[in-house]
Structure formats: structure tokens, C-alpha cells
Amino acid sequence: MNVDSLNWGDLTPEIFLAQYWQKKPLLIKQAFANFKDPISADELAGLAMEAEIQSRIVSTNSKDDWQVDHGPFEDFSQYGESNWTLLVQAVNNWSRPTHNLLAPFAFIPSWRIDDVMVSFSTPNGGVGAHLDQYDVFIIQGSGKRRWQVGAPDSSLESLLPHADLKQVSSFEAIIDEITEAGDLLYIPPNHPHKGLSIENSVNFSIGFQAPSSQELWSSFADKLIDNNLGEQRFSDPARTLCQTSFTITPDDKKQLKAFMLQQLEQEEFYEQFMGQYLTQGHHALEILVPVNDIDKDKLLDILSEPDISFMPVSGLKAAIINDVQLTLFLNGESFPLEKQTLALAQQLAQQKPLSTSKMKRLNTCLKNTQLLTDVLNKGYWYIE
């Protein structure tokens, strides 16, 4: 199985973005030939036993009573052989093979991707009909599952069969198919969908980051406060005589709006905010901080070893902004760059393992040494 290769059939990434992305759902049969689960059901269950990893089990019974249990779990025997689903968030943060499932979707900027959720479902297992507020690609792993997907419908009723489970009423399906290993289902935001497992099955759901305007403004305000910015007061030295004291005039509104937007016009500050916000992980990472800091001399010793590999932490979010200030962002932290450090930063942002020989070619100056030792000492990259 070559997971890097997505068989689009008659489509291309360009056609997909133009005709389907955030517009309508799509099922591609055998998008991945000879697909094999990058993580087994037993390994997934092991992750669900860890306290720092978010997991839950959704189950139902013959009376359609729904139950949601949150991990960590110690035992799964109580759930029986059918009617339940285990869902584990951000499995790509703990499983490098699972993280590699993101490679075929590199036609979308990596900052848009949130995580890879993996679910194991027994026969008749599912979470019911529901809506998501974000895009999702679902790769069918082992087993079979029936997927139904509808179009946006404002008449759908919101249901709450359990305090931790949001569902919607029945909908008319525009996709109603059985998915098998290697099939790929794309579901845009606000499209009702329902997956029901036919047999023991595994699904890999690539969810996308879609911050709300409220979340962006709130986080931006927090950054202003953290940096002691935005403390200046509104002023209006050119004010003219008002006609009625109880009126907020169109000019008042315009001035206040411009006053509020002043901070957004500070491009360097705005870039720092966006880079940090969009690369901040929402789930725990397996940060690997070295026992002893790596300095220049230690790095040279490491580079003298022929069989060393430099590895990124799985699930690390990375981005580069090259506009006002050239900067590398890793896990919500910023690393200022210069022209001579850009090539190294680009390799770090791509998050592909680097050999000693490759790293030697990149470590061309003191600035590069400083950048590399910095990310190693923070545990974002490690030596294998």
C-alpha cells in the first residue's frame, strides 16, 4: 500500500477543490489500493487506556438508549460483541504510520488539518445521525460500514439522546453506500451523515481546523493582553457639535470600528498571532525533551555519526510565514528566520525524517545550528 498515492479516478485535486470542497460530499471507491490499517484495533485500545489521550465509547441497546463513556478505559469486555464504537482523538500524535495518512491531502494547507481520529466499531456500532461543523475525509480501514450522507437541511431537528451526544433527526441520503478498505468519503460541514458498522471495522477520520470568528477574536484579545497592547484609549479631537446627545452617529460608529481594527493592521503582530494560533495543538503531543541540552559541540558529535536520523514528533503542527517577518512556527511557538535559515526551516516544516548527510548539508552556518538545537532542546524533533 502506497498511502502517499490517492487514486482520484476521473477527478484531480483541482477539480475536487472547485466542485466538492465545502460544497457537496463525495465517495471515491478504492482511493487507496491494498489499504492496510496503520494501527491495529488492539493498539487503538491501548491508546484509549492512556489518561492523556482523549477517547470515548458510544453504545446503544435494543431500546435505542444511548450511552457515552469517556476514557481512559481499563477493560472493554462489558460492552459485548456489538452495538458500540470506540473513538480515539489525535491518534496521529502517537502513531507515526497514522500520521502518514495526512500525506495525500497536502493539496490543502497543513494548518487547516486538526487531527486524525480513529474509530473501531463492532457490528451495528455508530454514533447516530449527526452534523459536523468542519470538513472531514474518512478512510475506510478493515471491515465494512454503511454510510449515509445528506444535503444541508434547516428542517432537521437537533436531538440529545445523551448529554454528551448530539444527533439530528432522519434525513434523505444523497450518498448511501457500503464502504470497504481503501474507500474514501468526503463530507463537507453541516451535511448530516450516519455510519453504521456492518462488521468489526476501523475508520480513519481526518478532521479540519475551522475556528469560529468568536474563537479568533477571543484568542486575539488574549494575545493583546499578554503583550500589554491595545491599552490606548479612544480619542476624538476633531469632534463637532452633536445635534442630539442620545445619538450614536454613523461617523461615531466608523471611528470606533477603525479604532478597534488598528491592532489588526499591525501586520507583524498579526502574523505572530496567526502563526502561533494556527499551529497550536489541540491535543497532547509526545514531546521528547532531551535529558541534557544539545549545544553546538554536541550537535557536531551527533552529525559525525553516519546512521543517525532526525525525526519530528508525530502530530506536530508547523507553518512558515514569509511576509513581513520570516518566521517558522512549531506547536504555537515562533522561531524567527533569516534567508540562510529558510532552507532548514522548510525541511523542518515538512516534517519528514532527515538523515545525517542531509542535515549536514543544511547545517551551513551558526544560525542554522542555533535553530536546529533549539527545536531539538524543546523536544519538537528528536534523534533516533
**Spatial contact of 267 and 323, defined as CB atoms under 8 Å apart:** yes
Of 196, 206, 182, 184, the closest CA to residue 147 belongs to 196
Beta bridge partners of 179: 145
Percent of the chain with pLDDT over 70: 99
The phi and psi torsions of 186 (rounded to 5 degrees) equal -110, 130
Q: H-helix or E-strand containing 296?
A: helix 296-303
Residue 102, pLDDT > 60, answer yes
Distance CA 216, CA 220 (A): 6
- Provide the H-helix boundaries in 154-243: 213-226
Residue type at 332?
A: G
pLDDT in tens, 55-94: 999 999 877 899 999 999 999 999 999 999 999 999 999 9
pLDDT in tens, 193-233: 999 999 999 999 999 999 999 999 999 999 999 999 989 99
Mean pLDDT of 269-274: 94
pLDDT in tens, 357-376: 899 899 889 999 999 999 99
Q: Global pTM?
A: 0.91
CA 197 to chain centre: 25
Question: C-alpha grid cell for residue 62?
Answer: 435494543
Residue type at 84?
A: W
Q: Under 8 Å CB-to-CB from 122, ≥6 apart: which residues? A: 79, 80, 81, 82, 83, 84, 85, 197, 200
pLDDT in tens, 322-360: 888 899 999 999 999 999 999 999 999 999 899 998 998
Distance CA 331, CA 90 (A): 14
Percent helix / strand / coil, the chain, rounded to 5:
30, 25, 45
Domains, the chain, with CATH or none: 13-208 (2.60.120.650), 213-258 (no CATH), 296-383 (3.40.366.30)
pLDDT for res 3: 56
E strands, 157-250, in order: 158-162, 165-168, 173-179, 184-187, 193-197, 201-208
